Amino acid sequence: LRMMIMSIMNSFKSLLWAVLVLLILFYVFGTSFAAATTNHLETVSTGNEPINADLMDSFGTLDKSILSLYMAMSGGNDWGQYFVALEDLGSVYQLLFLGFITFAVFAVFNIVSFLREAPSLGLAEADAQVGATSNPTNSDKNKAEETD
pLDDT per residue over 14-51, tens digit each? 778 878 888 999 999 999 999 999 888 888 765 456 66
Backbone angles phi, psi at 59, to 5 degrees: -135, 20
User: Do residues 94 and 4 touch, judged by C-beta distance below 8 A?
Assistant: no
CA max distance for the chain: 96
Q: Which residue has the higher pLDDT, 73 or 10?
A: 73
Tens digits of residue pLDDT in 122-142: 655 655 565 556 555 555 555
Q: Which amino acid, residue 90?
A: G
Given pLDDT bands bounded at 50, 70 and 90, which one contains residue 70? very high
Q: What is the pTM of this model?
A: 0.68
Assess whether pLDDT exceeds 60 at residue 91: yes
Mean pLDDT of 44-67: 81
